[in-house]
């Protein structure tokens, strides 16, 4: 059970949260071409090591926020603001 550092509520069990994915930037939909859009939809860095990711505090403040996590050791630290 990870301890997730919620910036609004403090550290809480990961069962209160939902993992919301790698941080990604949404392309401009009016100009986007299929390769770029589908890369946004489907491709992930999937890095082994420290990653910046988004979590949602479902059973808490219901805020999305960033954390940094080492996907090899599951060590977690607060994410720097985007």
Residue numbers at the binding site for other proteins (CB under 8 A): 1-3, 13-15, 18-20, 26, 29-30, 32, 34-35, 37-44, 46, 48, 54, 56, 58, 62-64, 71-74, 76
Return the number of the residue (2 or 9) whose C-beta is nearest other proteins.
Answer: 2
Q: Least distance from C-beta 33 to other proteins, angstroms?
A: 9
Q: Least distance from C-beta 15 to other proteins, angstroms?
A: 6
User: What are the C-alpha distances in Å from 46 to residues 22, 43, 52, 57?
Assistant: 8, 9, 11, 22
For residue 48, what is the DSSP state?
A: S
Q: Least distance from C-beta 52 to other proteins, angstroms?
A: 13
Q: How many CA atoms lie within 13 A of 77 on its CB side?
A: 6
Q: Which two tokens stand for residue 71?
A: 């996907």
């Amino acid at each position: 059970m990870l301890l997730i550092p919620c910036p609004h509520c403090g550290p809480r069990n990961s069962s209160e949260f939902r993992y919301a994915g790698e941080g990604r930037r949404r392309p401009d939909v009016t100009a986007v071409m299929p390769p770029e859009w589908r890369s946004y939809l489907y491709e992930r860095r999937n890095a082994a090591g420290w990653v910046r990711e988004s979590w949602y505090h479902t059973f808490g403040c219901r805020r999305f926020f960033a954390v940094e996590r080492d996907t090899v050791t599951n060590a977690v630290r607060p994410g720097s603001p985007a």
